[in-house]
Structure formats: C-alpha cells, structure tokens
C-alpha cells in the first residue's frame, strides 16, 4: 500500500481513491498548477487535505462556503488531524487573535475570500512557507461562471504577494469557456487540467408538468407516500419552503419534515443539518443555502419545487443525491409562469443604474466634505442595496479607484467614464443571466434525452446510466424501486425541536 493510500485509509476510511483524486494529488505534490473539474460528491476536498498532511509548509484553501469550512475542520479534527483551522466571519475577535498568534503551527488553513484580504493576516502568511494555494468553487472567479464573486478576482494579487505558490483550482461545474477564463484570470494559462465527466450514472432525470401549485403539492405528497426515502425539496423562496414544510408535516405524519434556509437562526440550521445527517429527518424543504458540505450518502430524491436560475446550480443541487451509487431521482416540478420567480431573483442580484448614480454623487459629496470613511451597512440600508448588489458596486468603485480600504478617494470627473461603463456591465450581466435561465427553461421543455442535453455544454459524451436515464428515454415513477433505508428514531428531541420551529411565525421575505 502506497503512502497516499495509507493516509486515505487512516484518516478517511477509504481503501481506494475515486476517479481523479489520486491524479490531482500526484500533480500538486510535485508543484504543478492544477485545474480540477470533478462532479459534485466526488470528494474534491481530499485533493488538498492529503497534500496538507504530507507537504512541508501550509496549505491555504479559499472557499465562499463558511459552513462547509466549519464542517471540514470538525471532520478532520475528529480523524486525529488537529493542525487545521478556519478563519471567517464566524470567528470572534478574541479567538481570531489567538489563531493569528499561532498561525504558523497550522498545516491547513481555510479562509473566506474576504478574510484573505486582511492585511495583518497577509503579512503573517507572507513570512510562512505556503506549499499550495487552493481555490475551491473556482467558477466564482470567472465572469462567465454561475456564481461570479468579485472578491475572487483579487486572488491573483494575493497569490503573488504570497510568493507565488502552486495553485489548485477546483470546481464541479465549469464549461470549457469558464475553464479558460479561470486560468486567464489567475494568469496561469499552463495549468494541468484534470477534467472529469460531471454526470452521475446512478441519477435519473424527470420533469413533472403541473397546472398550478396545488398539483405540485399533490404530486409531492403522493410520491413521498409511495417512496418514503431521504428527500431534499429545493425552493427559491424562504417563505414557501416554510409553508410547504408545514403542509407536509401534517399531510405525512409518518415522515419527519423540516425546513432550512439562510434566514434561520444558526442554531436551528445546525439542528436541521445534524438531524438530517443522522437519519432523524426524512424530508428537508430548503433553499440553496442547504446542501453544501452535506455529505449524506443515501439521499434518494431531489425535487425542485421552483426552477433554478441556471443549469449549473441545478447540476450542483442534483448532485446531493445518490452518493452511495444507488438509484436516485431528480424531478423538476413545472407550472405555467414558473419563470417569473427566477426572473425576479435575477433582478435582485444587480443594482440599478439609478442606485449607482446616487452612490457616486453621495461619495462625491462626502469626499468634498472630507468625510472619506464609509460604513458598508449604513450604505446598504440608505440606498436599499442587498449584499450581492453592494458587492458588485464596491468592486467596480474599487476598480476605478473611487474606493480603497473603505475610504473614498478623489473622484474629480470619473463619472463620465464610470457610470456608462457600469451601466453597460449591468446590461451585459443581466443578459447573461437571462440566457442561463432560458437554457434551464428550454431544458425543461425539450423532447429529447434530458441527460444528454443537460451535460452537453460541459462535456462531449455522457456515461451509460446504471439504472434509468430520464423520463424521455425510459423512466416512469411506477417502475422505480429505490432502496428504502430510513431508520425511524422517534425521539422526543427532534419532535420537540421541530414543533418549536413550526410554531414560529413566518417572518421572512419571499426571496
């Protein structure tokens, strides 16, 4: 048994690597830059966790998924690997100072893209040996990626400041165009590419056409009564996730149902996550906030009550199913005018030109009054901006040197350049997002093989399905015989906790 396999078995309990893992590890261990595209649920994290255990120096992992960081740190420490830490907004100031004091003792450091901009942290990292710089969810660095984050564009300068260590960029969803853009943005065009097929052969694809929401509810209730399997139901609305969970809670008394979304108290979110992982919940009605880092192997059914805004998100969410290789199904529920909600979500992701102009004038006046420091929360409230919109504007203002380190810089006549440029950018980004939504809607309505059409933008071939392919080729729910392995653990703890959640008033907005 090789050293890699020994570590794999000792710390992760596996006797062999999954497709792509060993190839990527071998490449990064000899100092190569690597771009890895592996399907959701394929164990991408092992590609940098094992090098962190073996290499001299420290491995840095940049991830936007704060809960995933925390989970991976806990899991690694439970295996006996203690030299790991996550630094993000969850960490209190006193604890953060202690971590900074002991920074050089860690072999693996998880950081949010915002935290890596911290000057004190960067200065300390600059004096350490960084053996590998990992960018998880690397599609976020691409303007063509489905979750583009401006903060990721700053990583190129961070890498240079840290003495240009080898880079490992990982993602589960990247078209060839996005792959090229990732390498271009990092200015590392010679990265060794390890690209693996994204389709999972044990997942079957289906679309259920409904006339209205009532028919959606009937379908869900009937399906879950017939197939009482671990299920995730995805919603684009927090309020609707709560309402449907409450409905199913009483409609299906033999099944344990809960809701999950980013607007919930953190303790309630942890409760739901732990109960689902432990098999004490059967159905979770959730938004996209749920799923990242949920390595539950026996999820059999993924239902999309609302259609996602793009194919990439859909593929990632479907990838939560069937990680044990057994037969699992994805079903999208579609009713007339279902496109309206994702269109509203797209509208909410970009600022208006009027907001950009108002902010420009506000900053100009503040600069003239020599009041250059800004408070981000106050600005978001005053100009009715959500976090995504503010992030977009802030990056552009920093790009045009109107903002630096949360201070307003000299503006002069930059308005004539900045406002038209941002207006054009908003228009282009909006059209790109609409095109992605149309791609999703077209997939729902197309008549051919759903598997082939779904993965066509990402790969030239598809795998032979292990069970059923899709409802266009060979699948009918009446034929499905999933493994039903729900363990009923009717403890008072989960009943009491869930009753408390359902008794709370619905106080969240639709999106």
Distance CA 128, CA 125 (A): 5
203-339+466-503 maps to CATH 2.30.42.10: no
Q: How many CA atoms lie within 13 A of 451 on its CB side?
A: 26
pLDDT of residue 157: 92
Is the CB of residue 146 less than 8 Å from the CB of residue 439? no
Fold: same for 3-195 and 203-339+466-503: yes
**Mean pLDDT, rounded, of the chain:** 88
Q: Where in the chain are the domains?
A: 3-195, 203-339+466-503, 346-436
Is the CB of residue 93 less than 8 Å from the CB of residue 71? no
pLDDT tens per residue, range 134-186: 999 898 888 666 567 778 888 999 999 999 999 999 998 888 888 999 999 99
pLDDT < 50: residue spans in the chain: 489-494, 504-511
- DSSP string of 138-175, one letter each residue: GGGGSTTSTT--GGGGGHHHHHHHTT---EEEEES---
List CB contacts of 491: < 8 A, sequence separation 6 or more. 280
Q: Two tokens at 272?
A: 């739901």
pLDDT of residue 47: 94
pLDDT of residue 126: 93
pLDDT tens per residue, range 196-209: 888 899 999 999 99
pLDDT tens per residue, range 246-294: 999 999 999 999 999 988 887 788 788 889 988 999 999 999 878 665 7
* Nearest CA-CA partner of 114 in 149, 84, 148: 149
257: left (phi over 0), alpha (psi -120 to 50) or beta: beta
DSSP-assigned letter for residue 195? E
- Give, to the nearest 10 degrees, the angle between helix 492-503 and helix 238-251: 130
Q: What are phi and psi of 81, to 5 degrees?
A: -90, 105
Burial class of residue 195 (count of CB atoms within 10 Å of its CB; 0-12, 13-18, 19+):
middle
pLDDT of residue 153: 85
Q: Two tokens at 252?
A: 């299906």
Torsion, Cα of 401, 137, 340, 388 (10° steps): -30
Q: Two tokens at 148?
A: 């583009």
List CB contacts of 315: < 8 A, sequence separation 6 or more. 40, 172, 173, 198, 454, 455
Is the CB of residue 332 less than 8 Å from the CB of residue 442? no
Helix or strand (DSSP H, E) at 130: strand 130-135
Q: What is the CA radius of gyration of the chain?
A: 24
Class of domain 3-195: alpha beta
Distance CA 294, CA 231 (A): 13
Predicted model pTM: 0.83
């Amino acid at each position: 048994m090789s050293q890699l396999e020994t570590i794999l078995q000792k710390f992760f309990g596996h006797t062999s690597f999954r497709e792509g893992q060993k190839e990527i590890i071998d490449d990064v261990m000899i100092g190569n830059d690597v771009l890895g595209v592996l399907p959701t649920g394929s164990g991408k994290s092992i590609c940098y966790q094992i090098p962190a255990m073996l290499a001299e120096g420290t491995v840095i992992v940049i991830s936007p998924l704060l809960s995933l960081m925390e989970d991976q740190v806990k899991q690694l420490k439970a295996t006996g690997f203690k030299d790991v830490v996550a630094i993000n907004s969850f960490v209190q100031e006193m604890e953060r100072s202690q971590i900074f004091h002991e920074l050089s003792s860690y072999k693996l450091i998880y950081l949010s893209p915002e935290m890596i901009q911290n000057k004190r942290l960067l200065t300390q990292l600059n004096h350490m040996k960084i053996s590998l710089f990992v960018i998880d969810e690397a599609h976020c660095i691409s303007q063509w990626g489905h979750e583009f984050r401006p903060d990721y564009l700053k990583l190129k300068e961070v890498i240079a400041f840290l003495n240009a260590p080898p880079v490992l960029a990982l993602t589960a969803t990247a078209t060839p165009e996005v792959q090229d853009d990732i390498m271009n943005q990092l200015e590392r065009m010679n990265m060794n590419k390890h690209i693996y097929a994204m389709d999972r052969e044990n997942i079957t694809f289906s679309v259920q056409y409904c006339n209205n929401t009532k028919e959606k509810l009937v379908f869900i209730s009937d399906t879950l009564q017939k197939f009482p399997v671990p299920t995730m139901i995805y919603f684009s609305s927090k309020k609707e996730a709560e309402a449907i969970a409450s409905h199913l809670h009483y409609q299906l008394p033999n099944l344990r149902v809960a809701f999950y979304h980013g607007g919930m108290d953190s303790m309630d979110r942890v409760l739901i996550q732990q109960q689902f992982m432990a098999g004490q919940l059967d159905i979770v009605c959730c938004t996209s906030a749920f799923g990242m880092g949920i390595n539950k192997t026996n999820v059999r059914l993924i239902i999309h009550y609302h259609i996602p805004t793009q194919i990439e998100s859909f593929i990632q969410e479907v990838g939560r199913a069937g990680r044990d290789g057994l037969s699992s199904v994805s079903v999208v529920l579609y009713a007339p005018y279902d496109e309206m909600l994702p269109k509203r979500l797209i509208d909410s992701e970009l600022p208006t030109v009027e907001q950009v102009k108002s902010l420009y004038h506000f900053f100009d006046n503040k600069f003239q009054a020599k009041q250059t420091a800004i408070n981000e929360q106050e600005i978001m409230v005053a100009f009715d901006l959500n976090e995504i919109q503010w992030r977009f504007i802030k990056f552009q203002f920093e790009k045009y040197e109107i903002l630096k380190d949360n201070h307003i810089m000299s503006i002069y006549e930059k308005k004539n350049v900045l406002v038209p440029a941002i207006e054009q950018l908003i228009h282009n980004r909006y059209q790109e997002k609409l095109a992605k939504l149309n791609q999703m809607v077209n997939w729902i309505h197309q008549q051919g093989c759903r598997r082939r059409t779904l993965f066509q933008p990402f790969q030239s071939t598809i795998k032979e399905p292990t069970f059923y392919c899709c409802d266009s080729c060979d699948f009918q729910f009446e034929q499905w015989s999933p493994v039903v392995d729900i363990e009923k653990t009717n403890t008072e703890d989960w009943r009491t906790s869930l009753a408390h959640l359902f008794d709370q008033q619905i106080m969240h907005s639709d999106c």
